[in-house]
Amino acid sequence: MPNKRPSTTTPDQRGEGDELHQGVKRGERMTTATGTPLGDGQNSLKVGDRGPTLLEDFAFRDKMFHFDHERIPERVVHARGYSAHGTLECLDAIPDLTRAAPFQSRGKKTEAFVRFSTVAGNMGSPDLARDVRGFAVKMYTEEGNWDLVGNNIPVFFIQDATKFPDLVHAVKEEQDRGWPQAASAHDTFWDFVSLMPESTHMLLWAMSDRAIPRSFRFMEGFGVHTYRFVNADGDDTFVKFHWKPRQGMQSVVWNEALKINGADPDFHRRDLYAAIDSGDLPQWDLGVQVFDEAFADEFDFDVLDATKIIPEEVLPVRVIARLTLDRVVDNMFAENEQVAFGTHNVIPGIDFSNDPLLQGRNFSYLDTQLKRLGSTNFTQLPVNAPRCPVRHFQRDGHMQTDPQIGRGNYEPNSLTGDDRGPRADVVQGYQSVMRQESGPTRRLRAASFADHYSQARQFFLSQTEVEQGHIVDAFSFELAKVEDPRIRTRMLANLRNVHEDLAQRVADKLAMPLPEAAEAAVPTRTDLPESPALSILLNGPESFAGRKLGVLVTNGSDKAVVKAVASAFEGAGAVVEYVAPAIGPVKLRGGGTLTPDHAIDGGPSVLFDAVALLPSADGASDLAGRASAQDFVSDAFAHHKLVGLGADAGALLAAAGVEPDEGFLDLASADDADVFVTRCASLRFWDRDVRA
């Protein structure tokens, strides 16, 4: 039962009906951590009216002691996170492939807890940094907790876990200056990756729009590594895990990300919370790529290499379950911060491959929890505690809460009752896949891991022209922040092994000559087919559902048009929010008032997926002189957004210097609203000529 610590008052602050005695009711009593009721929660114990505080004030010491120690070390990586509760429902039972409990019968539901995060920034960093996003799922099954600890990108920067400390040191703030925070655009990161050709494939993903998602709800997730499924007979197959958002993928453009961070650094957090709170529950399909040893041997790349993917066109993803997030956390510290994930947390039916990065993560995650949470008993914290019975002979330790009764605390013993206490179950218990390993012990990298550029090229060519342009811009922006020209030259030399056009376009933007291509251990293959599944724009939503429309209104806005737009978009499953010159009520032409959600100075267009400009003529003229209103329009234009244009918005467009194009749709009357919401399903008007 949670501790109840309601607010209290001093005797002098009590109002009528607030006394503790004479039968007058009051709320629950505030106590110390040990349960002693407090008579005064506002003042420490002093000598006289103005004397020193007494050491015997146990209530003060109890409160201050806890306050002094209420922070725990933040995660070294993935510190900036946000979580929610949910359920995994089996859609396709696969007992022939795995005995894993969640997949034994169609319709079976498993409690889940999900944490999304950025990698490089600290807890106070902004949400829209260009970064990999963590996508970690804890499933509380009847046979223990299974953690699928992945990212929103299916590959990683390194192939062997021994390089992970070097990668993190490089991407974190530089140790001699303490900056930049939550950014990879600096020398140490690019110095490291330019010297590590194996990072190239991941760099293409990180410089793509995948690294600046519009929402946690609109991004994919991946298990990254190759795991094993094991069925009840002990037969095993390889498996790779995919989370596919039910509402389609969506990202933002870089300039938009920068401005969102300024307007609302909690943008992703707020979006997830609001969606769940409003009942627009985020959902992902869990899919698997299942394959055997024969496929692994014939596949063009090593399936144990975490810098490679198996394209969906080569091996389709089979959907087996659906994840629904339906409850926000009750307490950020108790759940979001104290949750402890680990790739080693598996259940019967799930096993590991020999992926060297996965093998290292299996060690690292458990080790780091002791540092963060202070005790080997962190599994007893509610967010980490299994929902199934836990029986073992592990004993004592800091913060032990299990009574651990009985005489025998070892195994085997004959003193813990008729059943002699818990014992291993050779039939139902976890059994590792039996496999034969041989060969000399050596520190080496397998030759099958040596092709660092072919899939990077495939990824680049699989993007639309718009997305390719964003990748070029991202490389150019990041490398322009690098102070040492040798690093930029090395990186361009590596990019020549990916694609000549990519390298040349980046070099042109940097005003640098194109260096000779770096020597490649394996020549880049040019025969890999394009994979449409790798493009965000080719896998976008089918409608505007789950997105947000910002409607700019003023006194005198046409009530019929405003109402029609709201009805059309809300009917399509979208959220409608109003922006006005001030936060006070707006009087509409046609009668009635409207209470805006944002004042124009605090509600920029970057917060919305599309906008509608519905001011009155006088309102447009007034807004035309305000920089924030001009930015509202010019940013929507620059970010390729669809814009609904009211009949009286001309003065504001002129002030913003915007000439309407085909991405502007007339909202001159209520009948135009349905056309507008249908067009908004495309999210952007990429044909717009936006000058950088």
pLDDT in tens, 166-187: 999 999 999 999 999 999 999 9
Q: Which helix (H) or strand (E) segment is 577 a member of?
A: strand 575-580
Give me the CATH topology for the region 81-207+214-380: Catalase HpII,  Chain A, domain 1 (2.40.180)
- In the residue annotation, 413 being an active-site residue is answered as no
pLDDT digits (tens, 9 = 90+) for 596-655: 999 999 999 999 999 999 999 999 999 999 999 999 999 999 999 999 999 999 999 999
Backbone angles phi, psi at 51, to 5 degrees: -85, 180
Q: Which residues of 12-40 are buried (b: 16+ CB within 10 A; e: fewer)?
A: eeeeeeeeeeeeeeeeeebbbeeeeeeee
Q: CA torsion, points 209, 210, 215, 218, in degrees to nearest 10?
A: 110
In this prediction, residue 436 carries a pLDDT of 84
Q: From 3.40.228.10, 1.20.1370.20, 1.10.3210.10, 2.60.40.10, which CATH number describes the 450-537 domain?
A: 1.20.1370.20
Tell me the sheet residues that pair with 290: 239
pLDDT at 17 over 60: no
- In the residue annotation, 78 being an active-site residue is answered as yes
Which of the residue ranges 18-32, 231-245, 506-520 would you say has the lowest mean pLDDT?
A: 18-32
In whole angstroms, what is the distance from residue 334 CA to residue 383 CA? 7
Average pLDDT of the chain is 93
DSSP letter for 525, please.
P
pLDDT at 437 over 90: no
Which of the residue ranges 33-47, 317-331, 350-364, 560-574 would you say has the lowest mean pLDDT?
A: 33-47
In whole angstroms, what is the distance from residue 326 CA to residue 85 CA? 6
In this prediction, residue 50 carries a pLDDT of 85
In whole angstroms, what is the distance from residue 569 CA to residue 610 CA? 11
Catalytic residue of the set 85, 145, 151, 336: 151
pTM: predicted TM-score of the whole model, two decimal places? 0.92
Catalytic residue of the set 78, 186, 225, 452: 78
What residue spans define the domains of the chain? 81-207+214-380, 450-537, 541-682
pLDDT at 24 over 80: no
CATH class of segment(s) 541-682: alpha beta
In this prediction, residue 417 carries a pLDDT of 63
CB atoms within 10 A of CB 623: 25
Using 50, 70 and 90 to split pLDDT, how confident is the model at 70? confident
Mean pLDDT over 399-426 rounds to 80
